[in-house]
Amino acid sequence: MQYSEKVMEYFMNPKNMGEIEEASGVGVVGNAKCGDIMKIYLDIDDDGIIKDAKFKTFGCGAAVATSSISTELIIGKSVEEAMGVTNKAVAEALDGLPPVKMHCSLLAEDAIHAALWDYSQKKGITIDGLEPPDDDHDHHHDLDDDDDE
């Protein structure tokens, strides 16, 4: 399996790894099939701008890389702009992912949405297009039959 140089860079030197104390929103998603677990923390100001984002991920190199780049894609963005960060945008930001690793970009998108959902619930607000996360945290992630990761 061939990873892009950017995937390897973000895996070996992840950006924004860690936790945010008293985060505005926290999202946790996982893929039972491969064992990846992704947790995203958001610090959102009173104007709805994401001032900081951090992550903790247990998983393969692609899961770490997609977590890391997804935080970079949303820092400085409005909540509405963060809603527009798709798994495709995450994969493209990493110069692509092997097909059997695309589920990692879906996890990153889902983790962002889960953190935004948590934020919206704490604030009592509605974010257009945002739906509650699945309780089993394993939707969309049956795209391949590869049990390696």
Which tens digit of pLDDT belongs to each residue from 76-87? 999 999 999 999
Q: What pLDDT band is residue 135 in, cutting at 50, 70 and 90? A: low
Residue 70 identity: S
Query: Cα 60 to the chain's mean position, in Å?
Result: 14
List Cβ neighbours of 147 (8 Å cut-off, separation of 6 or more).
33, 34
**Selected catalytic residue, list 37, 82, 104, 108:** 104
Confidence of residue 13 (pLDDT cuts 50, 70, 90): very high
pLDDT, position 31: 83
- Compare 143 and 50 and report the one with higher pLDDT: 50
The predicted model scores a pTM of 0.88
| β-bridge mates for residue 58, sequence order | 37
Amino acid (1-letter code) at residue 118: D
pLDDT of residue 142: 37
Calpha distance 87→137 (Å, rounded): 16
| Residue 127, C-beta contacts closer than 8 angstroms, at least 6 positions apart | 79, 80, 83, 116, 117, 120
Integer Cα distance of 99 and 73 in angstroms: 21
State the catalytic residue, choosing from 34, 65, 93, 102. 34
pLDDT digits (tens, 9 = 90+) for 20-35: 999 999 999 998 788 8
- The yes-or-no answer on residue 34 being catalytic is yes
Beta strands in the chain (DSSP E): 25-30, 37-44, 50-58
60 is catalytic: no
Amino acid (1-letter code) at residue 68: S
Q: Which domains does the chain have, with CATH numbers?
A: 5-123 (3.90.1010.10)
